[in-house]
């Protein structure tokens, strides 16, 4: 797996921002600047009056330790492929599903009905998903999701779509 989305593109950004996932959902943000741009930033041009909280920063370091583990990234990549494969099966089964797209565990399906209807259905099943625009159902599970959890999401999606027919 890849830690950053840009690693799939073959380009390296000059500046990158990181936020909530950096500390497992706790309030933190960071700006990563490449060697080419760094000399152009003068002292005091980028600062924070509320930055550097030791507690949250230490948690962010722990998150980076976990995310830097090749075995963990491999398991995330495997789960992403599994989820994508299951969503492609759903795509083949239902005409309402027009496209499957995404990378890793950040996936979406383009549908020909209001995605908000699916979001409501999933909420009743105690599964949180969201929409991305009017016709995209977005799946953003935690990186620690299990195959069993992915199967539950797919079974719920299958049940929802079969009930629409």
Beta bridge partners of 103: 106
Write the DSSP string, the chain: --SSGGGGTT---SEEEE-GGGGTTSS--EEEE-TTTGGGSPTTSS--SS---HHHHHHHHHHHHHHT-HHHHHHHHHHHHHHHHHHHHHHHH-TTEEEEEEETTEEEEEESS-HHHHHHHHHHTT---EESSTTEEEE---TT--HHHHHHHHHHHHHHHHHH-
**Residue 60: band (very low, low, confident or very high) from pLDDT cuts 50, 70, 90:** very high
Pick from 88, 98, 138: nearest CA to 118: 138
Domain 75-164 has CATH 3.90.1150.10: yes
d(CA 57, CA 111): 40
d(CA 139, CA 136): 10
What pLDDT score does 127 carry? 98
Q: What is the pLDDT of residues 99-149, one digit of tens each?
A: 999 998 999 999 999 999 999 999 999 999 999 999 999 999 999 999 999
What pLDDT score does 141 carry? 96
d(CA 79, CA 39): 40
Return the domain boundaries, the chain: 5-68, 75-164
In this prediction, residues 9-20 reach a mean pLDDT of 90
């Amino acid at each position: 797996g890849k830690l950053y989305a840009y690693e799939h593109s073959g380009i390296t950004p000059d500046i990158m921002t990181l936020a909530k996932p950096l500390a497992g959902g706790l309030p933190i943000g960071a700006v990563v600047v490449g060697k080419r741009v760094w000399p152009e930033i003068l002292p005091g041009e980028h600062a924070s009056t509320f930055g550097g909280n030791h507690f949250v920063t230490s948690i962010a370091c722990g998150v980076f330790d976990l995310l830097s583990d090749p075995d963990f990234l491999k398991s995330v990549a495997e789960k992403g492929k599994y989820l994508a494969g299951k969503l492609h099966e759903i795509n083949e089964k239902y005409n309402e599903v027009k496209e499957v797209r995404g990378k890793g565990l950040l996936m979406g399906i383009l549908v020909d009905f209001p995605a908000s209807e699916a979001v409501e259905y999933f909420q009743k099943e105690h599964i949180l998903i969201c929409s991305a625009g009017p016709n995209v159902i977005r799946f953003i599970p935690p990186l620690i999701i299990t195959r069993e959890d992915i199967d539950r999401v797919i079974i719920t999606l299958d049940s929802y779509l079969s009930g629409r027919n």
